[in-house]
Amino acid sequence: MMDEHGRKINYLRVSLTDRCMLRCQYCMPAEGMDWLPLERMMSRTELLRLLRLATELGITRFRLTGGEPLARRDVVEIAEGIHALPGVEDIALTTNGILFPRFGRDLKRAGVGRVNISLDTMRPERFREIARRDGLGKVLEAVDLALELGYEPVKLNTVAVRGVNDDEFVDFARLTLDRPLHVRFIELMPLGSEHPWAVGHFISALEIRERLAEAFDLEPVDDHLTSAAAAQQQGGQAGPRGAGPARYMQIPGARGTIGFITALSGCFCDSCNRLRLSADGKLNPCLGSLHERDLLGPLRAGASDQELLDIFADTIYHKPAEHHMLELTDDTVGRQMSAIGG
């Protein structure tokens, strides 16, 4: 289905839970999170009904997110259910990696083909500082397992934070030399931050690229493999690295790539093809939007498939032309990043 700005919307990010075993400083406060009561979260049956309806409107690509999606005990059954829906072309997972060694094999058999693993540092003491928990060993184990199991691609999501992990950018880039890893540097976004990390710690993708260029020769990767704009022109069919917003470069001869996600410094809204569904059944047309539409409430009140389809279709059609993250304040930011699904 097309929105009113001519973008084909075919990708839904599904938050399975707002819970997470880490407390990353740019994502949630150290304590005091107001977790969703279980009765307010979608059951597997409710979720799969909504996703079936989404496929009727042309949604063919799904990403399981959280919180931490693997904190949900029926995550494998959910993946199996999505895989069985008509027209589904792609199921991906974004995870912090802690539980991936337990679920990775079953998820691959269930139909999950791609995985993004969050990794902001490769130093144990710094991991503990950022995540407020230990766990680096498990995350690195998850990366190894994802490669071993043949997930394609395996992406590492690295939130770039000035003065915190910017001295590791070159080390992350080196990971792409010998293994088919796609390291993506993500600009810090001011969402749900009640701490100083969102102020004074921003570093642009351009500056990251310039720093890497001092250490490596970099060459652009063929855009037809990577760009969301290309995916739009091809009816949503993207190359092997997906239809995401990253722009990729490569060290000559490297097996992997280096991506840059410029959510703030270089808006890519004109090619955005995605919606977000929260664990409590709210449909959000944009990461930086406050205009959620409730699907779970009407579903539980007995809404027909057509009534739910109408909510989906109206949300898609009125997807905003661009995000307004820079205009958000502590009073208007809405959900914490952990509850949005990223």
Share of the chain above pLDDT 70, in %: 81
Please, which residues have CB within 8 angstroms of residue 36's CB and are 6 or more apart in sequence? 17, 18, 279, 280, 339
Measured between alpha carbons, how far is 244 from 229 in angstroms, rounded to an integer? Answer: 9
Residue range 87-144, pLDDT digits in tens: 999 999 999 999 999 999 999 999 999 999 999 999 999 999 999 999 999 999 999 9
pLDDT for residue 242: 52
Q: Which is more confident, 78 or 38? A: 78
Across all residues in the chain, what is the average pLDDT? 86
What is residue 227's predicted lDDT score, i.e. its pLDDT? 41
- Per-residue model confidence (pLDDT) at position 188: 85
| Three-class secondary structure assignment of 178-234 | HCCEEEEEEECCCCCCCCHHHCCCCCCHHHHHHHHHHHCCCEECCHHHCCHHHHHHC
**Which domains are present in the chain?**
11-340 (3.20.20.70)
Which residues are CB-contacts of 16 (< 8 A; sequence separation ≥ 6)? Answer: 47, 64, 65, 66, 67, 69, 71, 72, 75, 78, 279
pLDDT digits (tens, 9 = 90+) for 184-242: 999 887 655 444 555 678 899 999 999 999 999 999 996 544 443 333 333 333 333 45
Count Cβ atoms within 10 A of the Cβ of residue 214 and give its class: 0-12 exposed, 13-18 middle, 19 or more buried: exposed
Note the pLDDT tens digit of each residue in 9-24: 999 999 999 998 888 8
Q: What is the pLDDT of residue 31?
A: 72
pLDDT at 336 over 70: no
- Are 158 and 166 in contact by the 8 Å Cβ rule? The answer is no
pLDDT higher than threshold 80 for residue 161: yes
Beta strands in the chain (DSSP E): 11-15, 61-65, 90-95, 114-118, 154-160, 181-187, 219-220, 247-250, 257-261, 274-277, 282-284, 293-294
Write down the pLDDT at residue 233.
37
Asked if pLDDT for residue 339 goes beyond 80, the answer is no
Judge if pTM exceeds 0.95. Answer: no
